[in-house]
Amino acid sequence: MPRIERLTGCLIGQCLGDALGFPIEGWDGDACREFVDTKISKWFQGKVPPVNDWNGQYTDDSQLARELLESLVEQGGFAPKDYAGRIARIFRENKIVGRGLACDDAARRLIEGVGWREAGCDPPAAGNGTAMRAAPVGMFYYDDPAKMIQIAHEQGWITHHDPRCSAGSVAIAGGTALALTGEKIDTDEYAKQVAAWMDDYHKTFADYVRKLPEWVELSPSEAVTEIAHAGEKPGYVSGWPGISPYVIPSVLWSLYAFLKYPDSYFDAIAVALAVGGDVDTTAAMTGALSGAYLGIDGMPRHLAEMVNDDEEWGYRELARLAEKCREITNQV
């Protein structure tokens, strides 16, 4: 069973990465790198961020991940109607921060009474809205790969029906489960296992994951040329700098950032952020993976204790939720 420090690190690591990316979402790489170099790097060294620079607010990525984990804990496993209801509620009450288009559309249908099996957006909608919230599946089903794969897919189906989204969810859930073991990361084996779990949903996406060991040998500036447009049709223009919200490059970049610097939460998050684009989401997924591997002590406590959702669901509440996850998974 994963140590509580790793489960706590996973959940809070996601929220912290997400919150750090929130102020610079959509910026280009140059602007994001400057923000990392001039502000975030100093915060990691112990400087307390001015509230007008950063207040620890995380976004929909972590809000929906938190709701998923709370549902798993309270229901003793995945209950799609309960989780769909939670998605509908947080959108209906306008508590969602930085809502994605597909999740917004699906939530509207859920609010109107459409069932969870039918509410999701059909292909070609293939954003990262399912993968960004999938780490709790790895936290809860870390010792049951078959169940983990099934639930990663089912929780995503509520909002996205594209198989690429299911594969992305499996990648983050599976990557989290492997990180939680605490075993020294072997990039080749890690990528091979994650890809194998993805194969049934999208073989092409899985094959990109198999390329990660060679990409990890590249610098971020070199790797982004390989990853940023992975899976795109020729001539497609996303309109985003850096990494777009398209699920294939955003998941690949998050895995790359973690595998590039598995022993440093800051360095992994810096890579996730400095590329530009949908950086709150890439940093959220990277933060979940890094936090699962390094544990809560692998990130600066003064920053971790600042994460919040409109001054609620901060460090203490998130840590307690992680403890409940450990308690319930020890019983099932």
Q: What is the pLDDT of residues 202-215, one digit of tens each?
A: 999 999 999 999 99
* Helix pair angle (247-260, 163-180), 10° resolution: 20
Q: Rounded distance, CA 159 to CA 122, Å?
A: 9
**DSSP-assigned beta bridge partners for residue 160:** 121
Backbone angles phi, psi at 309, to 5 degrees: -125, 95
Residue 330, number of CB atoms within 10 A of its CB: 8
List, for residues 262-320, the tens digit of each pLDDT value: 999 999 999 999 999 999 999 999 999 999 999 999 999 999 999 999 999 999 999 99
Q: Rounded distance, CA 271 to CA 258, Å?
A: 9
Domains of the chain and CATH, by start: 4-232+240-329 (1.10.4080.10)
Nearest to 189 by CA among 172, 175, 170, 208: 175
Q: Rounded distance, CA 44 to CA 64, Å?
A: 26
List, for residues 53-87, the tens digit of each pLDDT value: 999 999 999 999 999 999 999 999 999 999 999 99
